[in-house]
Amino acid sequence: MAAHMDRIVLPGDKISDLKESETSKKVVLGPGLRTETEDVYACKPGVLKFKEPNVYWIDTHQKRYVPVKGEHVIGIVTQKAGDIFRVDIGGSDQASLSYLSFEGSTKRNRPDVKVGDIVYSRLLVANKDMEPEVVCIDSHGRSSGMGVIRSGGFLFKTSLNLVRKMCNPQCVLMKSLGNKFPFEVMVGMNGRIWVKGRTNKETVALANAVCAAEHMTNPQIKAMCHRLADALAGFE
Amino acid sequence: MADEVRTAQPKEFYRKYLEQGVRPDNRELGEFRPTVLDIGSKNGSCISTAEGSALIRLGNTIVICGIKGELAEPKTETPTEGYLVPNVELSAVCSPQFRPGPPSEQAQVLSQFVANVLKNSQCVELEDLCIAPGKMVWVLYADLICLDYDGNVADACVLALTAALSNTSLPVVRVDEETGKTETDFKEEKKIQLTCTPISATSAIFEDNVLLVDPTRQEEELSTGLVTVVTDGKNICSLEKPGGSPLKDQQMRLCIERAFQRHTEACNLITQSQGSTLSTLTSPLVDR
Amino acid sequence: MEVMETSTNSPCLAALTCVLGDLSQADGSASFTHGNTSVLAATYGPCEVRMSKEILDQATVEVVCKPRVGLPNCADKYRERHIRDLFQATILVNLHPRSSVMIVLQERQDDGGLLATSINAACLALLDAGVSMKFLVAAVTALIDKDGNINLVPEEKPSDVEASASLTIVFNEKDLQVMGVTSSGKFSQEQYDRSVSLCRKATEHVFKFYRESMERKLSKSV
């Protein structure tokens, strides 16, 4: 399978010799791949990835978010319409957010949400034919970190694959930054990141560090974090 | 029953017909709809106030073309050339898809297409429209108005325009060298000479592989692409395929061949209708 | 933001240059230069669509062609329609119903073959944005001179003989079939056939160029 791994493909490239699972004789096609008649074609430009036993997908570099069910996103409340809020999550359509999908909210006890608030939420419905719907509770009715964020900090937008890279367990960015100074961070799969350091200066430095890490390797990230901590401490 | 299928599943409806090599309106795949041409002259039935006019019916599609002449000064860079300004109007009369107001995008695209055909084919020598070099030339406004939009307006427009131009006569205008005054002699008229007769033929691509000549509006909507070939009998004057599904070289060749066939048919039609006032072209294959 | 510049020289085409991701706010952008003709393309989408243009089962492709100076005229509209129809068939529009993919093309310099350059720039911008497509498309313009010789535009050595016709032909990468044609001037069927085979060969270089540009961009983010 080495021939397939990490190969750059463009839309329309035919992908042959896919490795099937030994038991089910099936191949799982992830994002960026599609079938036409019997063949598999790429439909997005990117790097072809493979995971044992039979999963293929294409890692694309893109900026525009296409909602996927279950993903955590950071949205901005744009409108209050009766019982629902409209939330801009960066996709083609605005998502809806019910006032009941907050922890502990009831018909009597409405959550305090205003237009312009940042909400960290999860996509409950994400379907190309339907309006996306986000919620701020998990299946047990707990907030588990989601909800309205109103404690300062800084929200910025990056490319989708920087977000994916940050969420990768192998990426050292969050760990190395965390070693240097404490901060809060929220990462939305829609390319929006919210950070908050102890001071405004730290917050801005953190945001810049995250943006700068887009094309860095792990050792480079470590070095960069080191320099950043030095600079903030006033050594440079 | 058939009507229900036609509305509910138009693609399926067409597929059933095309499997048999025939279209729902009894035509074969390569056959044009019956064409009726009415070329107007000063005493004809079309627009009597225009310098030249023609009305064409292509099945249900109706396009009327009027040619008006005006006098104007030529451009400094081309002192001996007149102007020929085509304009296609898709008014709200012809189909509910067009709204009253400024020209729709399609109307602009069609106008540009007709202008391209005129420019490429050079069927009217712009120098023939010159009255006094650098001082006065003819401006011919060719207004094409679609009265009923049932697909393939491009072909109808080109045929209407060619027919109208072939029967356009302009009064003789003389400019007095000394006084600069113009004198128009309405009794003496001069016909515009066409160097060639551009005729277009459009095919719609259905489901990537079937070519339907002269598509109706429903066929246009179902199609995955259109090919328009304009010929002057010897050469290709314009070949337009704006996107849509890919076409094999073989299929493109077929489109070109059909355009040449259509040219012969349409030329006969124009000559016939110049004799009489009304002519109909029905393919011998169809009994109507 | 990253800016990547790739350029190539091929035997039959004038130099191709492109910069991907030039614009920070657009979802995808490409500045493409072919010889002395240059076009800047930006794409947005899939994003919200105007109600009047909404299509229930597929995405609406919107193309805007901006001339170098002045307001867009009929010829620009004609170009817009051509490019829109082309990409409506190229982008996987069924994946994003009721949304819009917007392509904005700004002419920078026109030294022949503007339509072809616009199409290539749009395709690169769509690649940069990561929009799902069925296949890649590329366009090349051929000139037929009065002696019947066929040259590609922009020519490296412009011939002295005046051109009598020009053909812009768009091919797809999958099976190199003709996706779109526009012409000006008169030509014969035989000349058309020869132009197709010449352009077909030349587009292979353009496709190779696409690949090189994208490889450079993606190798950075691996």
Residue A111, domain CATH: 2.40.50.140
Q: Please tell me whether residues A229 and A158 are part of one structural domain.
A: yes
Name the pairing type of β-strands A118-125 and A147-149: antiparallel
Q: Which B positions 92-131 lie with beta carbon below 8 A of chain C?
A: 105, 108-109, 111-113, 115-116, 119-122
Instruction: Write down the pLDDT at residue B287.
Output: 38
Cβ A92–C136 below 8 Å, yes or no? no
Are A8 and C218 within 8 A, CB to CB? yes
Which tokens is A55 given? 């999963």
pLDDT of residue A95: 94
Q: Which residue has the tokens 């190539």?
A: C8
Boundary-marking domain end, from A89, A121, A149: A149
In a domain, A64, yes or no: no
Q: Which domain holds residue A179?
A: 154-233
At B285, the pLDDT band (50, 70, 90 cuts) reads very low
Please report, rounded to a whole number, the percentage of residues in chain C having pLDDT higher than 70. Answer: 90
Q: Provide the whole-model pTM.
A: 0.89
- CA C103 – CA C80 distance, rounded (Å): 10
How many angstroms separate the CA atoms of B248 and C171, rounded? 11
Cβ proximity of B283 and B32 under 8 Å: yes
| Residue-number span of the structural domain to which C134 is assigned | 2-221
Q: Are residue A83 and residue A127 in the same domain, yes or no?
A: yes
Q: Which chains touch B (3 or more CB pairs under 8 A)?
A: C
- Whether chain B has a CB inside 8 Å of the CB on C48: the answer is no
Q: C173 contacts in A (CB within 8 Å)?
A: 10, 12
Residues A163 and A222 placed together within one structural domain of the fold = yes
Q: In chain C, positions 25-84, which contact chain A (CB-CB < 8 Å)?
A: 27-28, 44-49
Tokens of A189: 């799969």
> Token pair 């995971």 is at which residue?
A51
CATH number at residue A30: 2.40.50.100
Q: Please indicate whether, in this complex, the C-beta atoms of C181 and B111 are within 8 angstroms of each other.
A: no
Cβ atoms of B50 and B69 within 8 Å: the answer is no
ipTM over 0.85: yes
Question: How high is the pLDDT of residue B153?
Answer: 95
Output the pLDDT for position C133. Answer: 94
Percent of chain B surpassing pLDDT 90: 45
All structural domains of chain B, each given as residue ranges with its CATH number in brackets, are 27-276 (3.30.230.70)
pLDDT digits (tens, 9 = 90+) for B235-262: 999 999 988 888 999 999 999 999 999 9
Domain count, chain C: 1
Has residue A66 been placed in a domain? no
Q: What is the pLDDT of residues B76-102, one digit of tens each?
A: 998 999 999 999 999 888 888 888 888
Nearest to C136 among A6, A12, A62 (CB): A12
Is the Cβ pair B244, C192 closer than 8 Å?
Answer: no
| Chain B environment of C83 (Cβ under 8 Å) | 243
Query: Are B240 and C182 a contacting pair at CB < 8 A?
Result: yes
Tell me, what's the pLDDT at B288?
36
Tokens in use for B76?
């400094």
Check whether C45 has a pLDDT greater than 90. no
The mean pLDDT value for C189-209 works out to 92
Average of pLDDT values for B37-50?
72
Would you place residue C10 in the very low, low, confident or very high pLDDT band (cuts 50, 70, 90)?
low
Q: Would the pLDDT of B286 be above 60?
A: no
CATH of the domain at C123: 3.30.230.70
Beta-carbon count within 10 A of B207 CB: 13
Model confidence over A147-160: pLDDT tens digits? 999 888 999 999 89
Same domain, A172 and A143: no
User: What span, in angstroms and rounded, lies between the C-alpha atoms of B35 and B44?
Assistant: 19
Supply the CATH number for residue A209's domain. 3.30.1370.10
Q: Which of C80, C87, C180 sits opposite B241 (nearest CB)?
A: C180
Residues A90 and A123 in one domain: yes
To the nearest whole Å, the CA of B256 is away from the closest chain C CA by 8
pLDDT-based confidence at B284, cuts 50/70/90? very low
- Determine contact, residues C59/B214, Cβ cutoff 8 Å: no
Which pLDDT belongs to residue A45? 93
Average pLDDT over every residue of C196-222? 87
Residues 137-166 of chain C whose Cβ lies under 8 A from any Cβ of chain B? 165
SS3 string, A188-220, reads CCCCEEEEECCCHHHHHHHHHHHHHHHHCCHHH
Q: Is B239 in Cβ contact with C83 (below 8 Å)?
A: no
Which DSSP symbol is given to B74? P
Q: What is the pLDDT of residues A56-106, one digit of tens each?
A: 999 888 889 999 999 999 999 999 988 899 999 998 889 999 999 999 899
Q: Where would I find the beta strands (DSSP E) of C89-177?
A: 100-109, 137-145, 150-153, 163-172
Is C45 within 8 Å of C117 (Cβ atoms)?
no
Query: Is A32 in contact with C217 (Cβ distance < 8 A)?
Result: no
Mean pLDDT of A120-140: 92
Q: Measure C48 CA to nearest chain B CA, in Å.
A: 21
Q: A180 with A124: CB under 8 angstroms?
A: no
Cross-chain CB nearest to A92 (options C28, C47, C174) = C47
Instruction: Assess whether A200 and A216 both reside in one domain.
Output: yes
Residue B139 touches chain C, beta carbons under 8 Å: no
User: Which pLDDT score is estimated for C14?
Assistant: 80
Residues A160 and A96 in one domain: no
Contact list in C for residue B249 (CB cut-off 8 A) is: 177-178, 193, 196
C50 interfacial to chain B (CB closer than 8 Å)? no
pLDDT tens-place string over residues B146-157: 999 999 999 999
In chain C, whose CA is at the least distance from the CA of A131? Answer: C98
- List the single residue in C95, C133, C217 with the smallest CB-CB distance to A128: C95
Q: What is the pLDDT of residue C219?
A: 80
Q: pLDDT value at position C157?
A: 53
Do A159 and A229 fall within a single domain?
Answer: yes
The residue from A88, A115, A149 where one domain ends is A149
The conformation of residue A51, written as its DSSP 8-state character, comes to E
| DSSP H or E run through A9 | strand A7-9
Tell me the CB-side half-sphere exposure of residue A23, using CA atoms within 13 A: 2
B244 interfaces chain C, CB cutoff of 8 Å = yes
How many residues belong to chain B?
A: 288
Cβ distance C84 to B234 less than 8 Å, yes or no, reads no
Residue A67 lies in a domain: no
Report the gap between the CA of C46 and the closest CA in chain A (Å).
Answer: 6
Q: Which band of pLDDT confidence, cut at 50, 70 and 90, is reported for residue C150?
A: confident
Of A102, A119, A149, the position where a domain reaches its end is: A149
The total number of structural domains in chain A stands at: 3
Q: Do A11 and C136 touch (CB under 8 A)?
A: yes
More confidently predicted of B1 and C101: C101
